[in-house]
């Protein structure tokens, strides 16, 4: 549901992922005038869970790597596939 704890967490992951992909592609990002208000919903999540920014960044990186076709893990399994 919009504005919920879960929604804010997913939005944070999505925004971080899009920033990672934009940076990878060399796309300049533009700050929207209402970005501060948009980010305010994430503050609740971040205040409630001090690790959330690290977890969100890890999830966003994993998603960006998937989009880019980057595989991680055991090298021997990747070579055997």
Residue 79 has pLDDT above 70, yes or no: no
Model pTM score: 0.71
pLDDT at 74: 55
Tens digits of residue pLDDT in 2-22? 667 777 788 889 888 988 998
How many residues can be counted in the chain?
81
Domain with 12 in it: 5-80
Q: Cβ of 23: how many Cβ atoms within 10 Å?
A: 12
| Sequence-distant (≥ 6) Cβ neighbours of residue 31 within 8 angstroms | none
In the chain, the number of structural domains is 1
pLDDT at 21: 92
């Amino acid at each position: 549901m919009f504005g919920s704890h879960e929604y804010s967490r997913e939005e944070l992951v999505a925004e971080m992922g899009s920033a990672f992909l934009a940076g990878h592609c060399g796309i300049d990002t533009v700050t929207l005038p209402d970005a501060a208000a948009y980010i305010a919903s994430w503050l609740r999540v971040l205040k409630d869970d001090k690790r959330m920014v690290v977890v969100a960044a890890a999830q966003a990186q994993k998603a960006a790597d998937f989009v880019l076709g980057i595989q991680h893990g055991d090298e021997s399994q990747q070579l055997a596939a």
